Structure 1
């Protein structure tokens, strides 16, 4: 096996189990006597030559990452452009790799991260530098291509389904004299996977959530109002789950906040739940409450799915194994082999089949009326939220999460201001 260091970085929105992947990466590398550096704040840390020496962390601290949410080394939302457009930054990455004898680069993220890992592998090949790049899957949106599901999604899906179930019980108790409509906003800009997960909270049209609004279906206000009114008259109340990315038939985001674009070029969305709640109140006259769980969906480690945790650890370990075998420009993906009983395995897939591709929900996962999930969706989703994996709790009643020392290695290059 070649000598050198392994560099791990986290990208994009973090999840309840991304640190479990990090722990698996570091543990697997340590078992092979390979030193792991971690970039502080994702790819920015590489560009700035801010690299963390994980060998300064105890084995106990690394193990504790498995039950700690957030991103232990920091993440970032930075999308590099093409090799031609961002040539200076890509070459800077290579300079940092060379300066710190990095021979394996593992980038833990979504579509854009897979694209970056692929481009770095191409640049290294162009310069003849022996570097193996492996993408590691992560996203609560569950929209990565090829992989059956994405680590991080199962736990966010469990949080969503449980939260909707609990909120629905609250609304049902108060509906006679108080709230008639409750709107829950789920993450999902272009793919409605988390909104669909809310459908696991109940069965049948009279159990919450009564209406789910998917980005895969155009939002039609009049039809939505009619459904809300009919549900309230039939059930006594209505629980609505809306994906943040629902759009009108002309392609306009319902929750476009007018705030421009983020660093990934995405429209800044402004809260679809509050908008829908206001419109329902003004039009139908019902008392409405709404909620925007936002980061709570992806940080709720206390309610993590045991399946999700196992998969997050499996892709981390597999990523190291693939890297050390020289499997360049690949990603360990989850392959479902059976629904009942649920079975899965890890395989390697080429990054060029994953980068910049987006997996939306299959049409047969959405009910014909467009407001709920089908049995096919339930068969796919249910195994992903199964099992409990609670963190250890202290006597104060708070989970025992770990904060790493994150000691930086000494910089060897001039500062980069690109």
Structure 2
């Protein structure tokens, strides 16, 4: 009987409040199956760690340290934004990966990320056929944008949605206190390039028992300046104030982002940010209302202290399922959340082929956006509500959350040649 192959795990793209819970699921489950999987090596800074042979030996971490990942935000092993090109375009990178995998007896590849990461994972899975090296590649879904297809939701989104819903509710209470003599407008900018899932979560701040004036700007709805200003003015006239939730990806009628920095990221995406002050100033100039604005930015994806219990449980379960799928001999697949019912919220684990996930973006269905384009429907509320449900507080020490920092000891390099990335 052959000895068990080692595994490579890496985190990719923007991190979340629960990506480490998935890492915990992968590593703890692999340890339970030591007869099938040897050591789990983590890539320092994602796939870059594989290319540069900068591997972390997770077997040197105690069970308690790995368990603490479940309640620790961000990426414990470092993440990256690095997308492998096609085999023919960048053969040297693939040959390098094979060299590293062979040198460290790696037969399993677990990549924890979003759509671009799914594409990278799919390409790695094709190594066996194209370059004669057997490796099972399993994608572990993660993205606060909630834009991966087929899976009911993406780990990281539920907690970001909870943070936004809570923040918009609390900020609305604040601005309502000052509306009589001072500020009448609060604008919060949230993430979401093409999909308005996070912005939609702001709509949860208002409910039957807590009626709040909230206007949402979605990437899926073309921005109409006049209609927007009329809606804001209508809210202020009725309530005395208004909160606006604006997605960074809102576009003008000519297809341009309302806030385009003019820069590109490593994937070629337009770098966004700064739409909140644009919208706030627009309101001030047209309606004369005083305002405050905020950009949630990293806070919405790092807020482990207010993570959704549903999100934490699903993140761990998907990491666990990824290992189980690998042990069963699966390749080029992703474990997925399948919703069985809204009330009570019930879900089960499924799987999808990476060909059906990679480079496909799931946007908000129009049925989730109110007819006027500035709010969410009851169907959207039913979808979102269970994803932010429940609390899973981390342990606290001295009034602050207590998070783990792993030792992250490097695996000894076996290859003489260095490899430069980029």
Q: TM-score, normalised by structure 2?
A: 0.97
1:209, distance to aligned residue in structure 2 (A): 4.9
Residue 311 of structure 1: aligned partner: 314
Counterpart mapping for 1:18-167 below 5 A: 18-33=19-34, 34-167=38-171
Contact 1:114 1:351 in 2 (8 A): yes
- Provide the rounded CA distance (Å) in 2 between the counterparts of 1:80 and 1:56: 29
1:82, distance to aligned residue in structure 2 (A): 1.6
Match of 2:189 among 185, 191, 198: 185
- Provide the rounded CA distance (Å) in 1 between the counterparts of 2:340 and 2:403: 34
Counterpart mapping for 1:4-403 below 5 A: 4-33=5-34, 34-203=38-207, 207-258=211-262, 260-394=263-397, 396-403=398-405
- Provide the rounded CA distance (Å) in 2 between the counterparts of 1:359 and 1:79: 20
1:2, distance to aligned residue in structure 2 (A): 6.1
- Provide the rounded CA distance (Å) in 1 between the counterparts of 2:412 and 2:200: 47
Contact 2:213 2:235 in 1 (8 A): no
1:208, distance to aligned residue in structure 2 (A): 3.0
3-state SS of the aligned residue for 2:400? Answer: coil
CA distances 1:376-410 after superposition (whole Å, capped 9, x unpaired)? 0001000000000000001x111110000000101
1:91, distance to aligned residue in structure 2 (A): 1.8
- Provide the rounded CA distance (Å) in 2 between the counterparts of 1:121 and 1:161: 38
- Provide the rounded CA distance (Å) in 2 between the counterparts of 1:208 and 1:108: 37
CA 1:166–1:124: 2 relative to 1, 3 Å: same
3-state SS of the aligned residue for 2:401? Answer: coil
- Provide the rounded CA distance (Å) in 1 between the counterparts of 2:169 and 2:80: 33
Contact 1:201 1:209 in 2 (8 A): no
1:123, distance to aligned residue in structure 2 (A): 2.0
Q: Is 1:415–2:418 an aligned residue pair?
A: yes
1:363, distance to aligned residue in structure 2 (A): 0.8
Contact 2:340 2:346 in 1 (8 A): yes
Contact 1:140 1:156 in 2 (8 A): yes
CA 1:320–1:267: 2 relative to 1, 3 Å: same
1:207, distance to aligned residue in structure 2 (A): 3.3
1:128, distance to aligned residue in structure 2 (A): 2.3
Contact 1:164 1:208 in 2 (8 A): no
Contact 2:213 2:241 in 1 (8 A): no
Structure 1 residue runs without a partner (length 5+): none
CA distances 1:236-273 after superposition (whole Å, capped 9, x unpaired)? 00110001100011110001022x21001111113110
Structure 2 residue runs without a partner (length 5+): none
206-215 vs 405-414, which deviates more? 206-215
3-state SS of the aligned residue for 1:65? Answer: helix
3-state SS of the aligned residue for 1:370? Answer: coil
3-state SS of the aligned residue for 2:28? Answer: helix
3-state SS of the aligned residue for 2:396? Answer: coil
Contact 2:213 2:239 in 1 (8 A): no
Contact 1:124 1:130 in 2 (8 A): yes
Q: TM-score, normalised by structure 1?
A: 0.97
